[in-house]
Chain A
Amino acid sequence: MVPATDPPRDTQATIDYQAIQASEEFRTLRSRHRSFAFPLAVAFLVWYFAYVLLADYAHDFMSTPVIGHINMGVILGLAQFVTTFGITMWYVSYANRKLDPLATSIRSDIEGADSGEHEEAHS
């Protein structure tokens, strides 16, 4: 599991980041992050602009009363709040399950191979 790091050339430990970057574990982490974040970012932006364009160019549709005086515009506006809260919770649960353990594992691999360099931060 430990990515192939170059042995330290001298007393100063150096880390071969390119090897880590090419490692299976890191590539999994990166693709997990991007395959979640990118499509979701596109999706919420599309939904946001769909709403904006409706509010801007479809006044009659947005003014349709739905419940009492609450019209389509208010409903869709509140729906933007709901999706924002929803996406937030979804991402947090995904990151806790799929991203954090992997990131921690890679980090401790690097720091194990490169022991001592980051200890002073705690003093």
Chain B
Amino acid sequence: MSVLVRAAADTETIGEPLLNIGIFAAFVAITLIVVLRASRNNKTAADYYAGGRSFSGGQNGTAIAGDYLSAASFLGICGAIAVNGYDGFLYSIGFLVAWLVALLLVAELLRNTGKFTMADVLSFRLKQRPVRMAAALSTLAVCLFYLLAQMAGAGGLVSLLLGIHEEVGQSIVIAVVGTLMILYVLIGGMKGTTWVQIIKGALLIAGAAVMTVWVLALNGFNLSELLGNAAAVAGPEILEPGMKYGVTETSKLDFVSLALALVLGTAGLPHVLMRFYTVPTAKEARRSVVWAIWLIGLFYLFTLVLGYGAVTLVGADRILAAPGGVNSAAPMLAFELGGAWLLGIIAAVAFATILAVVAGLTITAATSFAHDIYTNVIKRGKTSQGKEVRVARITVVVIGVLAIIGGIGVQGQNIAFLVALAFAIAASANLPTILYSLFWKRFTTRGALWSMYGGLGSALLLIVLSPVFSGTETAVFADANFAIFPLQNPGIVSIPLGFALGWLGTITSKTAEEPRIAAEMEVRSLTGHGAEKAVEH
């Protein structure tokens, strides 16, 4: 938070706030119309949660890219490369390679066995209520962390673009962004959210492509020349690994921990998993992942150019001094390249990014609460779809309000880093149980519960005991010091622990699970028999 306070003192506003607001308002108006049109057919729970399962692989792949390429990727990674050099690029690689886990092991099988949520799959052959409860709680935890990260981005961006430097003004803008998001999700459900993500995903990739070509053109379309120019400005170490993570043995270990969380987290992110239910078949789910991998990969290649472009054209010192700190590298680069107009467009895209990702997270969390906790745990399945969707809508409002309050609290933290914590929780609490229940015949309810609560609990505990929370200048509680765990990312401990507990819980179970249902799950997961079909209107 200290970065923000310092930044607010020497105010630098770039571009024209009115132009920025105008372009953003145009985006909001267009997407609202699309959302309204898309939501006319929202009747059933499958419509509201899964967009009627009627999206094509290409559409869903673009939406996945739109959902996944959050403010963390755009603002966070560009900033991380601009400030930390090569170490920032490592985020890009982890975020991309992770998709292979989803493609090879999870996406299709999950689409074939589930209905709306991750818990549908996990509880398929295990005891419904306890497993659903655990899966829903870890879904909510991951979504909340991810939401905070996005909101942190919103605050910094606002201060940079709209020339609002007081904390009160920024908080008001965060509240406006949050309210807009609630509106989208309430009206549009999954269908509206998906369309917002498709539009935004396409805009983001197009915007990044324009900037990338521009930066390359200034460097004679020669990557080596760009890198050389960056090294000339910032010193040769900007091209070498280790600027951020190579300082001490602890930070090196922290980097391994981060790498583990990034590569194993994606396939356990509930809002990504939920997107697989918006397509009609497993084959379309596969096609979505392929589209997503190409689009996301392309985008991360752009970040390399954009990050080093920002080093060359803007410089790390100016980025760090700007309001929004490290997260402002991409918008400042846009201003340097194309002036106020390009800045306005890129800024609107970045806002749209935050809006779309927050909407995706909110609908995931709300679905999980309404479908898993309310209907299946509290009401034991005895409720109507209409009632369930109503509960989901109320949850949307509650989560939106929480996100606004939390977002006001976490301003100034690097977003990519906050998102990495959400990945660590997803990899520790969700992925072991997903893989075990898809591939290990003997897996039991006890194994699932130990793994999910153990993974979730240890990840959360280690985050609280880490330097992120206390003991350092940038910590949430900077004045206290209870950081007995030295690493910032808990993955290296909590992920193996999640896997180990799932195994231990299973082999110590006295009762085996019903083999008949296990057989049904396996047959359905691989053949697609009995998979939820598209809703036709």
A residues lining the B interface (CB < 8 Å): 15, 17-18, 20-21, 26, 29-30, 33-34, 37, 40-41, 44-45, 48-49, 51-53, 55-57, 59, 62-63, 67-71, 73-74, 77-78, 80-81, 84-85, 87-88, 91-92, 95, 100, 103, 106-107, 110-111, 118, 121-122
Contacts and interface: CB of A to CB of B under 8 A. Distances in A.
Interface of B: 86, 89-90, 93-94, 96-97, 99-101, 103-105, 222-225, 227-228, 231, 236, 239-242, 245-246, 252, 255-256, 259, 263, 283, 286, 289-290, 293-294, 297, 300-301, 304, 439, 515-516, 519-520, 522-524, 526-530, 532-533, 536
18 contacts: A15-B520, A17-B519, A17-B520, A17-B523, A33-B526, A34-B439, A52-B255, A63-B236, A68-B227, A70-B227, A73-B240, A73-B241, A74-B239, A77-B90, A81-B93, A81-B300, A88-B290, A88-B293
Contact of A59 (B96, B104, B242, B256): B242
Q: Which of B100, B300, B527 has the most CB of A within 10 A?
A: B527
A92 B293 CA distance: 12
B89 A69 contact: no
Nearest to A85: B297
A110 B527 contact: yes
Contacts of B297: 81, 84-85
Contacts of A122: 533, 536
Contacts of A73: 86, 239-241
Given A74-B223, A77-B93, A106-B527, 11 more contacts: A20-B519, A48-B94, A48-B263, A56-B255, A68-B224, A69-B239, A73-B241, A78-B301, A81-B93, A84-B99, A87-B100
Contacts of B283: 100
A81 B246 CA distance: 23
Contacts of B529: 106-107, 110-111
A29 B256 CA distance: 36
Contact of A21 (B94, B103, B242, B523): B523
Given A44-B100, A49-B259, A106-B527, A55 B241 contact: yes
Nearest to B90: A55
Interface of B is mostly: helix
A104 to B, nearest CB: 8
Nearest to B226: A69
Contacts, number: 154
A59 B90 CA distance: 14
Contacts of A121: 532-533
Contacts of B519: 17-18, 20-21
Q: Which 4 A-B pairs have the closest CB atoms?
A: A68-B224, A69-B227, A121-B533, A17-B519
A40 B222 CA distance: 34
Contacts of B228: 68-69
B303 to A, nearest CB: 11
Contact of A63 (B239, B252, B289, B530): B239
Contact of A103 (B222, B227, B300, B526): B526
A40 B104 contact: yes
Given A53-B256, A77-B89, A80-B96, A62 B527 contact: no
Contacts of B100: 41, 44, 84, 87-88
Given A18-B519, A88-B290, A103-B528, A67 B224 contact: yes
B253 to A, nearest CB: 9
A68 B225 contact: yes
Nearest to B230: A69
Contacts of B93: 48, 51, 77, 80-81
A123 B145 CA distance: 41
Nearest to A102: B527
A24 to B, nearest CB: 14
A122 B439 CA distance: 31
Contact of A118 (B222, B255, B530): B530
